[in-house]
Amino acid sequence: MPHVKFVLPTATPRPVAIANGREIPAWYDIEAFVEAGIPRSRIVVGGFSQGGAVSYFTGFQTKQPIGGVMVLSSFIPREKEFQFAPETAGVPLLICHGDADSRARYEWALKSKQRLADAGAKDITFYTYPNMDHTSSPQEMKDVRAWLGRVLPAISQKQEL
């Protein structure tokens, strides 16, 4: 996916707006991307396990929708504190989870999906991977790639971001 820039938790330190421009290890700074000209509709946050939990909160509590949220082997923790912003109802969500996950139980992922659907999320894709524990699989990565291709389609140089 040459048209996609991946910014990962292992990124090197860089200036972060919320830290007054100080260089700190950061895996995302949505406002800096927007200021650099990247439309919110082209920004996807995602993560595995705890990173997925952060992605739920980042993607669905803001009043400014982004292009998508991707969570792998994760769930919404502290559910009572989670406040779904109605403005994010159209944000695409990908949930990938193994039904044999021994750390982030499969039932918790189902509950998170239902919580978001009940709150008004309209575009939820949920994949179950039989006998998969708290890990990943080649099929999961294929599903992630296909979903990213849908929510972040390639754009021609003639098109605007």
Where do the domains of the chain lie? 1-38, 40-151
Whether residue 123 lies in the annotated active site: no
Please tell me the predicted confidence (pLDDT) of residue 119. 97
Q: Which of 55, 74, 101, 112 is catalytic?
A: 101
Predicted confidence (pLDDT) at residue 91 exceeds the cutoff of 70: yes
Whether residue 3 lies in the annotated active site: no
Tokens of 101: 């996950």
Q: What integer is the mean pLDDT of 3-26?
A: 64
Please tell me the predicted confidence (pLDDT) of residue 145. 96
Mean pLDDT, all residues of the chain: 88
Q: Which of 99, 123, 134, 143 is catalytic?
A: 134
Q: What integer is the mean pLDDT of 81-95?
A: 97
| Structure-model confidence comparison of residues 25 and 114, the more confident one | 114
**146 three-state secondary structure:** helix
The answer to whether 47 and 71 have CB atoms below 8 angstroms apart is: yes
Whether residue 118 lies in the annotated active site: no
Quickly state the pLDDT bin for 60 (edges 50, 70, 90).
very high
The answer to whether 152 and 44 have CB atoms below 8 angstroms apart is: yes
pTM: 0.84
Share of the chain above pLDDT 70, in %: 84
Tokens of 86: 């109605």
The answer to whether 43 and 33 have CB atoms below 8 angstroms apart is: yes
Please tell me the predicted confidence (pLDDT) of residue 87. 98
In the CATH scheme, what is the code of domain 40-151?
A: 3.40.50.1820
Predicted confidence (pLDDT) at residue 146 exceeds the cutoff of 70: yes
Q: Which of 41, 49, 136, 137 is catalytic?
A: 49
Tokens of 153: 């389609």
Q: What integer is the mean pLDDT of 152-161?
A: 69
